[in-house]
């Protein structure tokens, strides 16, 4: 791939000494007032100011391969067209002197300043310093965005470089000294405070900015001390007031203590009084328990005789119950026999009833037989009459034969129609299958078109709306408008849509300038036009606009040998499966430049549609629809004929059925008459003798009645026996009831005695339980009472406790009443504690200590105020003189331009040292007043003039070793630019001023130049002469011939 043309230049002095190939030096020219003075030998240069730039060397930096800049000691004007690399020199100067990339405003990483295609850049700055010059080298790496530093060719660190630069008063971050191209507008945005600090650092004495910082710190500390004194004084007064209140709290605390002592003694005595009351209750319960135990023993002795009597009564009741059960068993047995006789009598009655029922049934059957005989005779007679009126079969047969012949003829015609209908139905089913296949194909095409339209709608909404409008309004166009998704029309809807017109000439059939067969050996298999299909106008436009018929498409083989392909085929554009190669010719060097781009994945043409196949499917769909319509017409006609034949067939079959019914009716009548005659004879033979059957039934009933009499006699005997047994059982039951009553009475008396005994036992248990509970309670209360007095179990009550207890009440109620009263009194003393006295004493000590601290803070505050006064005098007076000098120079520059301007020291409060600032006020028209320089009030050119003149005013004060201003004249009108240029030349070329760099892309004609200024011209381009071929002597000869002619 071709590389861009290298930018190289060489100074006249270096060319005279000879230079190695590949190195470059900017050309520097000196202009004198006389035309022929350019050929005179140069005058001795004045000495450089310490910290001035002697040489700038750049290697692989931005647009430079290798370049050396040799500036002069005064005004250095770097001139060159935009893009030639003027600001690159400013960047090299800033970065080489430990400046941060963010200050330049171009990029935030040093790796971005390395020339594209290289891994490392070098910037070397040679600075004038006594006794020997200072060489600072910075190597910038692309891989890690890191820098390596060297001082005089020896490895160093950024901190050491910054210290060396600071010692020379070089401030590349100060806009008053270093003003890059991208920071020109920011100078006017500096606040008054920021401008003051930048001016102090730039032209003020070294101690001025230090005094300013000290004053700000002193003022901050003064405010802190004032606030601290006010706070301590306030706290001291509050503590004194609080201590006065605490004296009353101490007295109340002692009174509160007396109440608490009495409460404590009452709480000690109270457990002893409670213990004594519980002990008395325990003695009383113990006596009641003993009495209850004696009563329980007496009840147990009286209960023993009752138990024997109850046992005797239970034995008597058991004997009577056994006898009652024996009588009950005999009664059950007798009752069972009575039940059996009763069932036998009922069975005999049922048997007699069955005999009588059978006799009645025989009589009913005989009566029914007689009725059926009469009915059968009547039916036979009716059928004989009907048979005589029925036609004979010989008259019906001819009609039957005629109908059968016509039915056979209809059946043959129906079979023919059915066959034809089946054939047509088969053809229709085949056509429907073909239609479904065609419809599926069309649906697939429509789905693919919908997918493409949906992609278009998501990505290009306006294009989709225009496409919809076009389909609805296609009749408005005179010629064909193609319908690709990326094309649309521009209409009154104001949609953001592109539309193109196909060329009138036909390019779609144009042949490529080189046949594709000649490119097969490079892996090329086709031209781009052959790989897709499109409507003819679209293809015509693509061939005309993008020359797709001359763009080859290659394989991986093409990619591997791409340099050979480009060199041998002279193709301008080549595609492979993954990349696109574009070949161009450089305007500067006429060299071939190749760029390759990775192909992005397909987004809008991932779905392809074959238009010819779709049209073929649509034609097939229309043909199938026509054939289906013809088949439907034929089938409808055949169906109508089939319906008429069905109707005729039904009529004939109905007539045939009527004739068959008439023919079969005579046979049916003869058969019915024969069958009924046989049935009548059978019924007459099946008669029953009712008299004989009645006599047999009477005999059977008599025999059953004799058996019933015998059963009744035995049943009466069993009844009598059962009555006797029931009487005996009743007597035994009465005796048992009497014995049971006696037993119940004894049991009731025993239960009453037992209840009384259980109650006595329960009462005894309760008393015993209460005695144990009171005993445990007494022990617990005794322990509590001992604990309340802090006594061990083996100790007795001390005498002082006994004497104190005698003065207190002896009853629990009186103690509780007095205790509540004392607690109420003690509760009135709220917020008091044992620490009140300690706090009062401690606060007294703190008041004394805080008084001492307050006096010390006041003394420290007085000392700070004295220091502030001294520092203010050292800082403010020189600052006012400095601002006055700047104002004098600034006003003089503006007066020379027929304008007005002044610089003053501005502050709202003399004690607020962080609010001091430099205010610049300017006036460019006589009809206006002086206005403060702001980013909004003045125009861009006016701000540039003001900035430049302010920097010139600083230049004459000459404390910083050099200043840099990049393209400050861009926004100026020609008049102001000429005036400012004259001021810059006059000021910066004085013998007492420091080094000055002025970068500009253009200069006005007929400007005034000074002998001390240096002009460095920056060139680039394909026709640029190599630096090693440039001869200063030849240039002088050509210049002399030009001047002489």
From CA 796, how far away is CA 791, in angstroms rounded? 8
Residues 54/128, Cβ–Cβ less than 8 Å: yes
Q: In terms of DSSP bridges, do strands 931-932 and 917-923 run parallel, antiparallel, or are they unpaired?
A: antiparallel
- Over residues 64-76, mean pLDDT: 87
The token duo for 194 is 């920021």
How far, rounded to the nearest angstrom, does the alpha carbon of residue 218 sit from its chain's CA centroid?
Answer: 52
CB atoms within 10 A of CB 949: 27
Q: What is the pLDDT of residue 183?
A: 58
For 982-999, b/e burial (b = at least 16 CB within 10 A) is bbbbebbbeeebbbbbbb
From CA 896, how far away is CA 360, in angstroms rounded? 166
Longest dimension (CA), the chain: 192
Q: What is the pLDDT of residue 7?
A: 39
From CA 943, how far away is CA 306, in angstroms rounded? 137
Residue entry with tokens 């590949």: 22
From CA 1020, how far away is CA 7, in angstroms rounded? 5
Pairwise pLDDT comparison (501 vs 923), residue with the higher score: 923
- Over residues 113-120, mean pLDDT: 88
- Report the range of poorest mean pLDDT among 330-334, 578-582, 835-839: 835-839
CB atoms within 10 A of CB 642: 16
From CA 892, how far away is CA 669, in angstroms rounded? 158
CA-closest candidate to residue 109, choices 141, 138, 137, 74: 141
Q: What are phi and psi of 188, to 5 degrees?
A: -70, -20
Query: Could you tell me if residue 191 is left (phi over 0), alpha (psi between -120 and 50 degrees) or otherwise beta?
Result: beta
Pairwise pLDDT comparison (105 vs 930), residue with the higher score: 930
Quickly state the pLDDT bin for 18 (edges 50, 70, 90): very low
CA-closest candidate to residue 369, choices 694, 672, 679, 678: 679
Q: What is the pLDDT of residue 150?
A: 93
pLDDT in tens, 962-998: 888 777 666 677 777 787 788 788 877 887 778 888 8
- Helix 461-472 to helix 397-459 angle (10° resolution) is 140
According to DSSP, residue 493 is labeled T
Residue 24 has pLDDT above 60, yes or no: no
Query: 3-class SS at 27?
Result: strand
Task: Establish how many alpha carbons lie within 13 A of residue 1020's alpha carbon, considering only the half-sphere containing its beta carbon.
Answer: 18
How far, rounded to the nearest angstrom, does the alpha carbon of residue 546 sit from its chain's CA centroid?
Answer: 45
**DSSP-assigned letters across all residues of 763-803:** HHHHHHHHHHHHHHHHHHHHHHHHHHTT--TTPPPPHHHHH
From CA 362, how far away is CA 693, in angstroms rounded? 9
Residue 4 has pLDDT above 60, yes or no: no
From CA 254, how far away is CA 272, in angstroms rounded? 28
Sign (positive or negative) of CA dihedral 893, 899, 900, 901: negative
From CA 714, how far away is CA 873, in angstroms rounded? 163
From CA 232, how far away is CA 107, in angstroms rounded? 54
From CA 698, how far away is CA 695, in angstroms rounded? 5
- Over residues 913-939, mean pLDDT: 76
**Which stretch of DSSP H or E encloses residue 76?**
strand 75-79
From CA 136, how far away is CA 158, in angstroms rounded? 11
- Report the range of poorest mean pLDDT among 83-92, 140-149, 531-540: 531-540
CB atoms within 10 A of CB 485: 18
CB atoms within 10 A of CB 749: 14
From CA 583, how far away is CA 592, in angstroms rounded? 7
What are the DSSP E strand ranges found in 970-1036? 995-1000, 1014-1017
Residue entry with tokens 């019915």: 672
End-to-end CA, the chain: 47
Quickly state the pLDDT bin for 125 (edges 50, 70, 90): very high
For 690-710, b/e burial (b = at least 16 CB within 10 A) is eeeeeeeeeeeeeeeeeeeee
Q: What are phi and psi of 625, to 5 degrees?
A: -65, -40
The token duo for 542 is 């693509």
From CA 64, how far away is CA 1020, in angstroms rounded? 10
Residues 960/127, Cβ–Cβ less than 8 Å: no
The token duo for 365 is 């059957």
- Report the range of poorest mean pLDDT among 237-246, 492-501, 720-729: 492-501
The residues that bridge with 57 in the sheet, in sequence order, are 68, 124
Residues 982/1010, Cβ–Cβ less than 8 Å: no
Using only C-alpha atoms, what is the Rg of the chain? 69
CA-closest candidate to residue 589, choices 67, 81, 22, 1024: 1024
CB atoms within 10 A of CB 886: 23
Q: What is the pLDDT of residue 393?
A: 64
CB atoms within 10 A of CB 889: 21
Choose the most confident range, by mean pLDDT, from 143-147, 756-760, 867-871: 143-147
**Which stretch of DSSP H or E encloses residue 121?**
strand 120-127
Residue 766 has pLDDT above 80, yes or no: yes
Residue 40 has pLDDT above 70, yes or no: no
Quickly state the pLDDT bin for 574 (edges 50, 70, 90): confident
- Report the range of poorest mean pLDDT among 64-73, 663-672, 770-779, 951-960: 951-960
Residues 111/141, Cβ–Cβ less than 8 Å: yes
**Which stretch of DSSP H or E encloses residue 72?**
none
Query: 3-class SS at 251?
Result: helix
The residues that bridge with 385 in the sheet, in sequence order, are none
Residue entry with tokens 């009443």: 817
- Helix and strand element counts for the chain (H, E): 21, 20
Quickly state the pLDDT bin for 137 (edges 50, 70, 90): very high
CA angle (32, 38, 43) in 5-degree steps: 70
CA-closest candidate to residue 177, choices 62, 292, 52, 302: 52
Residue 262 has pLDDT above 90, yes or no: no
From CA 904, how far away is CA 909, in angstroms rounded? 15
Q: What is the pLDDT of residue 57?
A: 92
- Over residues 460-488, mean pLDDT: 69
From CA 526, how far away is CA 574, in angstroms rounded? 11
Q: What is the pLDDT of residue 947?
A: 74
- Over residues 211-235, mean pLDDT: 75
Quickly state the pLDDT bin for 2 (edges 50, 70, 90): very low
Question: Taking all residues of the chain, what is their mean pLDDT, rounded to a whole number?
Answer: 76
The token duo for 110 is 């040093």
Cis peptide before 171 (omega within 30 of 0): no
Q: What are phi and psi of 793, to 5 degrees?
A: -60, -30
How far, rounded to the nearest angstrom, does the alpha carbon of residue 544 sit from its chain's CA centroid?
Answer: 50
**Which stretch of DSSP H or E encloses residue 65?**
strand 64-69
From CA 762, how far away is CA 749, in angstroms rounded? 20
Residue 533 has pLDDT above 50, yes or no: yes
Residues 54/133, Cβ–Cβ less than 8 Å: yes
Quickly state the pLDDT bin for 25 (edges 50, 70, 90): very low
pTM exceeding 0.95 = no
Q: What is the pLDDT of residue 206?
A: 64
From CA 618, how far away is CA 600, in angstroms rounded? 36
CA-closest candidate to residue 529, choices 555, 551, 502, 499: 551
| Helix, strand, coil shares, percent, the chain, to 5 | 65, 10, 25
Non-local (6+) Cβ contacts of 694 within 8 A are 359
Q: What is the pLDDT of residue 203?
A: 65
Residue 79 has pLDDT above 80, yes or no: yes
Residues 959/169, Cβ–Cβ less than 8 Å: yes
Residue entry with tokens 């009553």: 741
The residues that bridge with 135 in the sheet, in sequence order, are 126
């Amino acid at each position: 791939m071709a590389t861009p043309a290298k930018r190289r230049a060489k100074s006249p002095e270096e060319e005279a000494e000879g230079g190695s190939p590949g190195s470059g030096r900017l050309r520097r020219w000196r202009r004198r007032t006389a035309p022929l003075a350019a050929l005179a030998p140069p005058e001795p240069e004045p000495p450089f100011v310490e910290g001035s730039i002697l040489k700038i060397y750049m290697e692989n930096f931005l647009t430079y391969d290798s370049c050396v800049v040799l500036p002069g000691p005064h005004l250095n004007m770097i001139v060159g067209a935009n893009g030639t690399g003027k600001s690159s020199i400013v960047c090299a100067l800033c970065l080489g002197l430990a400046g941060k990339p963010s200050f330049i405003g171009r990029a935030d990483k040093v790796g971005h300043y390395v020339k594209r295609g290289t891994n490392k850049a070098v910037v070397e700055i040679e600075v004038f310093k006594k006794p020997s010059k200072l060489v600072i080298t910075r190597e910038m790496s692309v891989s890690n965005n890191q820098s390596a530093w060297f001082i005089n060719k020896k490895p160093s660190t950024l901190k050491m470089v910054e210290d060396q630069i600071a010692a020379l008063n070089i401030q590349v971050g100060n806009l008053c000294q270093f003003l890059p191209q991208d920071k020109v507008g920011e100078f006017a945005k500096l606040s008054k405070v920021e401008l003051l600090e930048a001016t102090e650092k730039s032209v003020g004495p070294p101690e001025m900015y230090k005094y300013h910082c000290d004053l700000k710190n002193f003022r901050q500390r003064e405010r802190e001390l004032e606030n601290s004194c006010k706070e301590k004084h306030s706290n001291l007064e509050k503590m004194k007031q609080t201590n006065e209140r605490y004296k009353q709290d101490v007295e109340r605390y002692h009174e509160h203590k007396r109440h608490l002592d009495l409460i404590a003694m009452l709480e000690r005595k109270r457990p002893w009084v409670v213990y004594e009351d519980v002990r008395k209750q325990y003695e009383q319960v113990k006596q009641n328990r003993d009495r209850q135990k004696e009563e329980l023993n007496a009840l147990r002795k009286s209960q023993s005789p009752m138990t024997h009597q109850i046992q005797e009564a239970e034995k008597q009741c058991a004997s009577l119950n056994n006898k009652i059960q024996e009588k009950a068993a005999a009664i059950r047995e007798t009752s069972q026999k009575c039940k059996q006789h009763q069932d036998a009598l009922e069975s005999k009655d049922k048997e007699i009833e069955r005999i009588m029922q059978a006799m009645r049934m025989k009589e009913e059957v005989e009566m029914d037989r007689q009725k059926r005989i009469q009915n059968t005779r009547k039916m036979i007679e009716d059928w004989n009459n009907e048979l005589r009126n029925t036609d004979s079969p010989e008259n019906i047969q001819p009609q039957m034969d005629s109908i059968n012949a016509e039915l056979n003829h209809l059946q043959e015609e129906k079979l023919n129609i059915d066959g034809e209908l089946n054939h047509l139905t088969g053809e229709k089913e085949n056509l429907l299958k073909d239609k479904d296949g065609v419809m599926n194909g069309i649906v697939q095409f429509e789905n693919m078109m919908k997918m493409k339209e949906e992609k278009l709608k998501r990505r290009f909404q306006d294009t989709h709306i225009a496409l919809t409008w076009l389909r609805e309004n296609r009749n408005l166009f005179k010629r064909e408008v193609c319908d690709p998704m990326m094309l649309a029309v521009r209409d009154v809807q104001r949609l953001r849509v592109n539309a193109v017109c196909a060329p009138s000439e036909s390019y779609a059939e144009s042949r490529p300038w080189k046949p594709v067969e000649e490119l097969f050996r490079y892996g090329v298999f086709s031209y781009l036009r052959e790989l897709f299909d499109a409507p003819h106008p679209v293809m015509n436009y693509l061939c005309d606009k993008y020359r797709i018929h001359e763009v080859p498409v290659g394989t991986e083989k093409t990619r591997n040998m791409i340099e050979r392909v480009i060199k041998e085929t002279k193709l301008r554009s080549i595609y492979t499966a993954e990349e696109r190669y574009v070949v161009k010719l450089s305007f500067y060097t006429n060299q071939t430049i190749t760029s390759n781009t990775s192909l992005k994945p397909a987004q809008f043409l991932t779905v392809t549609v074959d238009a010819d196949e779709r049209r073929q499917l649509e034609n097939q769909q229309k043909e199938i629809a026509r054939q289906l319509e013809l088949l439907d017409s034929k089938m409808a006609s055949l169906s109508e004929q089939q319906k008429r034949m069905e109707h005729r067939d039904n009529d004939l079959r109905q007539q045939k059925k009527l004739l068959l019914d008439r023919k079969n009716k005579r046979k049916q009548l003869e058969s019915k008459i024969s069958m009924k005659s046989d049935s009548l004879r059978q019924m007459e033979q099946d008669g029953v003798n009712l008299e004989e059957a009645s006599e047999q039934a009477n005999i059977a009933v008599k025999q059953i009645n004799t058996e019933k009499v015998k059963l009744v006699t035995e049943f009466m005997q069993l009844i009598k026996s059962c009555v006797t047994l029931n009487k005996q059982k009743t007597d035994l039951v009465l005796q048992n009831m009497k014995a049971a009553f006696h037993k119940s009475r004894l049991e009731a008396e025993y239960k009453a005695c037992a209840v009384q005994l259980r109650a006595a036992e329960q009462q005894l248990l309760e008393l015993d339980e209460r005695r144990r509970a009171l005993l445990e309670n007494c022990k617990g209360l005794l322990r509590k009472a001992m604990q309340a007095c802090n006594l061990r179990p083996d100790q007795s009550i001390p005498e002082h406790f006994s004497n104190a207890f005698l003065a207190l009440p002896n009853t629990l109620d009186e103690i509780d009443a007095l205790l509540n009263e004392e607690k109420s009194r003690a509760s009135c003393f709220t917020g008091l504690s044992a620490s009140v006295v300690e706090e009062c004493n401690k606060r007294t000590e703190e008041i004394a200590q805080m008084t001492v601290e307050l006096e010390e803070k006041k003394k420290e505050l007085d000392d700070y105020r004295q220091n502030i006064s001294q520092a203010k005098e050292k800082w403010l007076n020189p600052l006012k003189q400095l601002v006055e000098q700047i104002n004098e120079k600034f006003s003089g520059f503006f007066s020379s331009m027929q304008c007005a301007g002044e610089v003053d020291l501005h502050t709202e409060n003399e004690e607020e040292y962080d609010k001091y600032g430099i205010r610049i006020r300017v006036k460019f028209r006589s009809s206006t007043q002086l206005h403060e320089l702001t980013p909004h009030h003045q125009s861009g050119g006016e701000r540039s003039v003001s900035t430049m003149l302010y920097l010139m005013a600083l230049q004459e004060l000459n404390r910083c070793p050099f200043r840099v201003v990049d393209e400050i004249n861009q926004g100026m009108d020609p008049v102001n630019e000429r005036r400012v240029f004259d001021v810059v030349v006059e000021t910066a070329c004085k013998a007492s001023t420091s080094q000055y760099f002025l970068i500009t892309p253009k200069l006005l004609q007929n400007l005034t130049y000074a002998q001390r200024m240096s002009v460095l011209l920056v060139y680039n381009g394909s026709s640029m002469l190599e630096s090693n071929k440039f001869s200063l002597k030849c240039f002088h000869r050509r210049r002399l011939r030009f001047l002489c002619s």
